[in-house]
Amino acid sequence: MSTFSAPKGTYDLLPPDSATVLAVREALAAPLRRAGYGYIETPVFEDVALFSRGVGESTDIVSKEMYAFTTRGGDELALRPEGTASVLRAALQANLHRTGNLPVKLWYSGSQYRYERPQKGRYRQFWQVGAEAIGAEDPALDAELIILADDAYRSLGLRNFRILLNSLGDRQCRPVYRAALQEFLRGLELDEDTVRRAELNPLRVLDDKRASVQAQLVGAPMLADYLCEDCKAYHEQVRELLTAAGVGFEDDPKLVRGLDYYTRTTFEFVHDGLGSQSAVGGGGRYDGLSEMIGGPALPSVGWALGVDRTLLALEAEGVVREPAPSSDVFAVPLGEQARKVLFGAVTGLRREGVSADLAYGGKGLKAAMKAADRSGARFALVAGERDLAEGLVQLKDLTSGDQTPVALDALVATLKEKLK
């Protein structure tokens, strides 16, 4: 133990779990690559106003959870709490929407920061793989993203998740609904916080997890009844495309999600084995966000999948991941001369694409062989002075225990053959 430990709400990713995390990120991204999404990286911090304007002042993410700070130079920055605003900012800054085809399709993988109350599945630094399709209004694009996320989860072996789907309307019909809901909420006995939320962001009240609040919401006006004809038709097409692709979903008229920028299609992937932090991913359409951050009208849609929670979901379902690949070969040098020769052999093997490791630290034979066993390697490479004098090394199959002498200069070829 050192004097220090990882800050509250964060954790270290260590082998062998870290290998699974890499595999999960890769699996979540693979369907995106096949669908024409290009990789993007943006800074971990941005102008704080990008988030307060983009994500919304009234959201918990911005009002309570942001890691905001003033730099020595006086800039007001924040660690990114989510990826969409940054990706859109970067696309606008680089004029991707003018120079390329629309939609501009991008994907990212990175850490996000929210000052939340930590618990299992909820951290202050967590990882997302995300995708954004910028600059097109087409129900097929919304459906594409949902299908790609579904494919990604399935490719990992996850089965016990559900897709919740809703439409939040657009700038024509949503304000009418918002007013109706506000009117309804004003007639309820709500606590101070909720009253404030009802004024700032009434749709969020629908999302309240407390049973007492949910009981009061019985009879609240539902957004589905207020959708304009365009939104209804759009949503119907998304639903049809999902059904045609064999992707099941549940209509959830109360799904609003925590960010202000969503319009029309909104969805969440929930996993039934995760307890209260059940959302493994989510997203939706955000037709107004570009204008909110000073860009042109660019209707867009995207999602973010939580890597940490995907891992927990895999655990909950007992999906066994491939063990972390270990070295194929582990070298055990006996004596100083052998150290030099085997170090050279290991370097040569690695350069030829064979994964190899060495017993470092001047271990004796017994400890070095134990290290070889523990490493999970298939072969040990043992050499002492006498072998080397004859230009040989001993190749020991660690599974069968068989040992054969191999000429040093035939080592690479022999191992490549055996490892085929």
- Binding residue for ligand AMP, selected from 133, 145, 279, 342, defined by CB under 6 A: 279
Q: Are strands 104-113 and 38-39 parallel, antiparallel or unpaired?
A: parallel
Residue recorded with tokens 């970067």: 90
Where does this chain touch ligand AMP (CB under 6 A) — which range of 88-96, 187-195, 245-253, 279-287?
279-287
Which is nearer to ligand AMP, 88 or 341 (by Cβ)?
88
Where does this chain touch ligand AMP (CB under 6 A) — which range of 44-52, 99-107, 153-161, 306-314?
306-314
Which is nearer to ligand AMP, 162 or 350 (by Cβ)?
162
What part of residues 239-278 is at the interface with ligand AMP (CB under 6 A)?
Answer: 257-258
| 3 state SS of 330 | strand
CA pair distance 240, 233, nearest whole angstrom: 11
Number of residue whose CB is nearest ligand AMP = 306
Strand 279-285's sheet: what is its strand order? 38-39, 104-113, 125-134, 300-306, 279-285, 263-271, 161-167, 250-251
For the chain, the distance separating the N- and C-terminal CA atoms, rounded to the nearest angstrom, is: 43
Neighbours of 155 (CB within 10 A): 12
Which is nearer to ligand AMP, 25 or 257 (by Cβ)?
257
Where does this chain touch ligand AMP (CB under 6 A) — which range of 44-52, 101-109, 115-123, 215-223?
115-123
Query: How many chain residues interact with ligand AMP (CB under 6 A)?
Result: 18
Least distance from C-beta 144 to ligand AMP, angstroms?
18
Least distance from C-beta 124 to ligand AMP, angstroms?
7
**Contact flag: residue 116 with ligand AMP (CB under 6 A):** yes
- Binding residue for ligand AMP, selected from 110, 139, 282, 333, defined by CB under 6 A: 282
Q: Which region, left, alpha or beta, applies to residue 391 given φ > 0 means left and ψ of -120 to 50 means alpha?
A: left
Longest dimension (CA), the chain: 94
**Contact flag: residue 281 with ligand AMP (CB under 6 A):** yes
CA pair distance 216, 33, nearest whole angstrom: 45
Q: Are 241 and 247 in contact (CB under 8 A)?
A: no
- Binding residue for ligand AMP, selected from 122, 154, 162, 254, defined by CB under 6 A: 122
Q: Are 152 and 114 in contact (CB under 8 A)?
A: no
Burial class (CB in 10 A: 0-12, 13-18, 19+), 301: buried
Q: Rg of the Cα trace of the chain?
A: 28
Least distance from C-beta 1 to ligand AMP, angstroms?
26
Where does this chain touch ligand AMP (CB under 6 A) — which range of 41-49, 117-125, 179-187, 396-404?
117-125
CA pair distance 359, 375, nearest whole angstrom: 10
Amino acid, res. 277: Q
Least distance from C-beta 278 to ligand AMP, angstroms?
9
Least distance from C-beta 255 to ligand AMP, angstroms?
11
Least distance from C-beta 113 to ligand AMP, angstroms?
9
Least distance from C-beta 94 to ligand AMP, angstroms?
23
Amino acid, res. 194: T
**Contact flag: residue 306 with ligand AMP (CB under 6 A):** yes
Which is nearer to ligand AMP, 17 or 228 (by Cβ)?
17
**Contact flag: residue 54 with ligand AMP (CB under 6 A):** no
Our measurement of the distance from residue 182's CA atom to the centroid of its chain's CA atoms, rounded to an integer in Å, reads 35
Where does this chain touch ligand AMP (CB under 6 A) — which range of 18-26, 123-131, 157-165, 246-254?
123-131
303 closest CA partner among 189, 141, 173: 141
**Contact flag: residue 114 with ligand AMP (CB under 6 A):** yes
Q: Are 83 and 108 in contact (CB under 8 A)?
A: yes
Neighbours of 249 (CB within 10 A): 18
Which is nearer to ligand AMP, 268 or 328 (by Cβ)?
268
What part of residues 126-165 is at the interface with ligand AMP (CB under 6 A)?
Answer: 126, 128
- Binding residue for ligand AMP, selected from 89, 197, 285, 309, defined by CB under 6 A: 309
CA pair distance 108, 102, nearest whole angstrom: 18
Least distance from C-beta 325 to ligand AMP, angstroms?
27
Task: Report whether the peptide linkage leading into residue 103 is cis, meaning its omega lies within 30 degrees of zero.
Answer: yes
**Contact flag: residue 82 with ligand AMP (CB under 6 A):** yes
Which residues of the chain form contacts with ligand AMP (CB under 6 A)? 82, 114, 116, 121-123, 126, 128, 257-258, 279-282, 304, 306, 308-309
